[in-house]
Amino acid sequence: MVYYEQMTQHGFDALGDEIEALKKKRPGLIKALQEARALGDLSENAEYSAAKRDLRHLESRLRYLGKQRRYADIVTPSDTPVVEIGKTVEIRFTDDDDVDTYHIVGKPEADLDAQKISQASPLGAALLDHKPGDTVTVDAPNGPYAVTILHVALTYSGNQRAD
């Protein structure tokens, strides 16, 4: 059984950009490997081992990204104020009144530093299918907490449009 991973079009395109960048690096790594091989004794050649390792890592990353793209299920968000993959959500944490904004994305795209949370994360899962004004309980590993949805925006390639 093949499992398809949901992601946004923006995330799918970012995978393609990374693949292209890695493909451009490949000839340089192959050349470095060839030059290191020409130095002789491969058993004690640190340059050869490092070049071989670097090329192996690049090839492995290319295979991984290729599989992610092949099994991607690109989600197009609806033009409604309901939280779903591809939407930006502004929430208020009820315990301390902090307000944060997150972009709901598929698991391969999640990046907390960039305010992108997966729909499978405790917060993302709790927010799904809710609207502004709803207060939801998040079942987090350190205990439950509540958040109120303030605003939901439809996002296209990083540009937001308010619903």
Tens digit of each residue's pLDDT (9 = 90 or more) over 14-51: 999 999 999 999 999 999 988 888 877 667 778 888 89
**Whether residue 119 is found in the same domain as residue 154:** yes
pTM of the model: 0.79
**Whether residue 112 is found in the same domain as residue 142:** yes
What CATH number does the domain containing 126 carry? 3.10.50.30
**Whether residue 60 is found in the same domain as residue 118:** no
**Whether residue 53 is found in the same domain as residue 98:** no
Instruction: Tell me the average pLDDT of the chain.
Output: 90
How many domains does the structure of the chain reveal? 2
How many other β-carbons are positioned within 10 Å of the β-carbon of residue 18? Answer: 15
3-state secondary structure of 55: helix
Residue with tokens 């949901």: 6
**Whether residue 40 is found in the same domain as residue 94:** no
**Whether residue 51 is found in the same domain as residue 101:** no
Distance CA 117, CA 125 (A): 10
β-pairing verdict for 87-93 and 99-105: antiparallel
Q: What is the pLDDT of residue 4?
A: 83
- Contact in structure between 94 and 100 (CB atoms under 8 Å): no
Q: What is the pLDDT of residue 46?
A: 83
Q: Which domain holds residue 148?
A: 87-162
